[in-house]
Chains A and B, each alone.
Chain A
Amino acid sequence: MLGKTANGLFWMYRYLERAENTARLIETGQRIALTRLGDSDEEWRSVLLSAGVWPGYEQYKGELTKEGAIDWLLRSKNNPSSVRACIGTARMNARLVRTALTGEVWESVNAAYMNAEKILARQVSERDLPGCLRTLRQHTALVRGMTHGTMLREANYEFSRLGTFLERADNTGRILDVKYYVLLPSARAVGSALDNVQWESILRSVAARGGFRMGHSSDAGPREITHFLILDQRLPRSLAFCAHRLQDNLKRLNSGRGKPTDSMKLVDMLLRKYLTHEVEAIFEYGLHEFIQEILGLLGDLTAQIQIDYRFYE
């Protein structure tokens, strides 16, 4: 397998995952705006921050409005992380690695692109927004399903999964980073309506609201949510879940090849040092610092994978 192909697969799946996460963030933001609790503009700022696109927004658009934020996240060509740009980049990478994809995977990416170009050609009205986001999420889910159902379990597959889980962990990490103050046990009077909305928004942005309710009592609060998003290995978007998958993928890539690679050592360290504690220890350490360090490690891991598997040279 070519280094270039590993690179293309890695980024194709990162961008697909990012498209899906951004669509989910928009959904959450819109929902909070509609419930009209708290400062809705402030909520859009935190959505833009979570998506990592606030600096670009400030530079290009300036004033923060709901329409502006949604358009920037959904379809702006000036925002490389907009859903539309992400799907476009994913598809370009798919073309680059066409030979490493099954026909079904390629067609599902291409269909996602063609449909996204169609429904995002014009600004999306508030009325059409829910349907539009649903369609976009279904498209990315279809690519994931095709990948799961048709790709050989060999290096190609491992790189596609590495891209997916690195992006997902990064996304969950950034949501936590932007909202960490809401989760600090002492920040506010626990159980206020505003807190409930905020917590719910966090859970929604990682598609975990239902799952959380099932497993926790009704008075569960920030402690449980923090545990759920960082340490719970049942939640497919928790940091621990993603890190374990990364560990599995790297291990399989290296099986029968002797010494662990540097990227394997990094992910082992990430798990050992950060994701085996009780949630109290995390609060004690400082939630903000903790998340910052994890985000830094995820960046290092990406760089190390690129070196270990000769993405560029």
Chain B
Amino acid sequence: MTDTKFFDEMWGFEENLREPYEKFHDWFKQEDMSRLRAKQREAEDLFRLTGITFNVYGRAEAEERLIPFDIIPRIISGTEWFRLSRGIEQRVRAINAFLHDIYHKQEIIKAGRIPAEMIAANEAFLPQMIGVEPPGGVYTHIVGIDLVRTGAGEFYVLEDNARTPSGVSYMLENRETMLQMFPELFSRNRVQPVQNYPTSLRRSLGATVPVNGTANDGEPVVAVLTPGIFNSAYFEHAFLADQMGVELVEGHDLRVVDGRVAMRTIRGYTPIDVLYRRVDDDFLDPLNFRPDSQLGVPGIMDVYRAGGITIANAPGTGIADDKAIYSYMPDIVEFYTGERPLLNNVPTWRCSNPDDLAYVLDNLSELVVKEVHGSGGYGMLVGPAATKKDIAEFRKKLEARPSNYIAQPTLSLSTVPTFTRAGLSPRHVDLRPFVLVSPNDINVTPGGLTRVALKKGSLVVNSSQGGGTKDTWVLEE
């Protein structure tokens, strides 16, 4: 049933049913394929009706598409999760400490653990943030850590998402859909709930009111800022605002009034305390960043620096999830926590370094090469899956701008049985757990979003590249 080369979440390397899947498998044995196939279709109809779609970029007419959902869950044992979540917490704590240091004393550079040019020459570094104290000391209110597994106990962090990680709405809706379609599975298995996420998100955002925020000690005013209805993640923005019970705003709903960022309501302008923005730094403030941006609020950075609003995540956090900085993460974790990193980093060649570049150029067909600032699976080369022509073309791009790239060995991502036309087949997966940071605590939602590469043998799980999702279960101990 499984390809023995890869670790399967259900079967391991050797066709031995793994413990977290035992109860699921008892159930599965009793099911017939035609009923499951019907359920698979039912799930799609449910998603379409709920409108859980994403818009595809680069098309003449913004087209709404479903991210394919697969009904076979990815199951993680409570013990495994406990280890993982501790590692995630440690990493996220280090990321916040690193950001504070980078925008203040830069001790890590003085200590020689990171070269100064990694920061100074980095386009994700925002000089406007130097010396700014973010409300509650929190830079990254929301973080997504992308993990992959290659063996029984072997997890690697593939990348950190410290800007505006997306996908949490799929985590929640996948669970909702599974609960509706297979209630019996949830009475057999004790699955840790994820449904508190929106409440926790609102609470954790509300815990970082700005110095000059809500004057009357009332409930903090939180809002979600979206680039608008044509953005690929618009559904998620609306979903989160709705689930939190806060307003969903666009740049043109906002303006600076009396030193606060305020939204235009039917009764006039109301100041906002915490803005969960899903707009990139560049577009946030046409007065301070890109002047052609229609998506932001002119002057919001000045209000922010004066303590009139909290921006979540803080501007400039991209310096921590940059793929070149990624290679320094083990040092960063050690430097700020004084502990050995609990999660592995993937060995990474920095193409800015001539020796590394030479190695990468010699081994392109074996490696995965990524753009330092890329995302969404765009602009990357997966060596073993690429044609000679792809490799030759990529070589030119790499030679032209080496510092724009990093390279990593091609990892043997674990698989999970997945519905295909030919029945169940193993497909590669990753996992993005979501982490909420407040001044008081770090909260990791059990599970996260499992993305699955639906094409046979493919290692690219991004939805823009034909990836799907699965519900992710963390079992109670």
Contacts and interface: CB of A to CB of B under 8 A. Distances in A.
Contacts of B241: 99
Given A98-B238, A98-B242, A310-B268, A2 B263 contact: yes
B266 A155 contact: yes
Contacts of A310: 264-266, 268
A96 B249 contact: no
A2 B247 contact: yes
Given A2-B263, A2-B266, A310-B266, A92 B229 contact: yes
A107 interface: yes
B250 A99 contact: no
A110 B264 contact: no
Given A2-B265, A3-B264, A4-B264, A114 B247 contact: no
Given A2-B249, A114-B48, A95 B266 contact: no
Contact of B250 (A1, A4, A103): A4
A2 B268 CA distance: 9
Interface in A79-112: 92, 95-96, 98-99, 103, 106-107, 110-111
A110 B49 contact: yes
Given A98-B242, A98-B248, A313-B264, A2 B49 contact: no
Q: Classify the interface of chain B: helix, strand, loop or mixed.
A: mixed
Given A1-B265, A110-B49, A99 B247 contact: yes
Contact of A3 (B50, B239, B242, B253): B253
Contacts of B265: 1-3, 310
Contacts of A1: 265-266
Interface in B292-328: none
A106 B239 CA distance: 12
Q: Is the contact region of chain A dominated by helix, strand, or loop, or is it mixed?
A: helix
**Most B C-beta atoms less than 10 A away, residue of A96, A155, A309:** A96
Question: Which of the four size classes fits the interface of chain A?
Answer: 20 to 34
Nearest to A106: B51
Contacts of A51: none
A26 interface: no
A8 B246 CA distance: 17
A18 B379 CA distance: 47
Nearest to B248: A99
B234 interface: yes
Interface string B228-261: 0100001000110110001111101100000000
B182 to A, nearest CB: 21
Contacts of B49: 107, 110-111, 114
Interface in B196-242: 229, 234, 238-239, 241-242
Contact of B238 (A2, A3, A95, A313): A95
B381 to A, nearest CB: 36
Nearest to A98: B238
Given A98-B248, A107-B49, A309 B242 contact: no
B250 A110 contact: no
Interface string A293-309: 00000000000000001
A4 B50 CA distance: 23
A6 interface: yes
Contact of B242 (A99, A110, A111, A155): A99
A176 to B, nearest CB: 32
Nearest to B269: A310
Nearest to A110: B51
B266 A3 contact: yes
A55 B430 CA distance: 57
Nearest to B263: A2
A104 to B, nearest CB: 11
Interface in A217-242: none
Contacts of B51: 95, 98, 106-107, 110
A310 to B, nearest CB: 6
B232 to A, nearest CB: 14
Interface string B260-287: 0001111010000000000000000000
Interface string A1-37: 1111110000000000000000000000000000000
A313 to B, nearest CB: 7
A202 B234 CA distance: 43
Interface in B328-365: none
A99 B264 contact: no
Given A95-B238, A99-B241, A114-B49, A2 B264 contact: yes
Nearest to A253: B266
Contacts of B234: 95
Interface in A187-208: none
Given A1-B265, A6-B266, A99-B246, 9 more contacts: A3-B264, A92-B229, A95-B229, A95-B238, A98-B51, A99-B241, A99-B247, A110-B49, A310-B264
Interface of B: 48-51, 229, 234, 238-239, 241-242, 246-250, 252-253, 263-266, 268
Top 7 A-B pairs, shortest CB-CB distance: A98-B238, A309-B266, A99-B242, A99-B241, A3-B264, A99-B248, A6-B266
16 contacts: A1-B266, A2-B247, A2-B249, A2-B264, A2-B266, A3-B265, A4-B264, A5-B247, A95-B229, A95-B234, A99-B248, A103-B50, A110-B50, A114-B48, A155-B266, A310-B264
Interface of A: 1-6, 92, 95-96, 98-99, 103, 106-107, 110-111, 114, 155, 309-310, 313
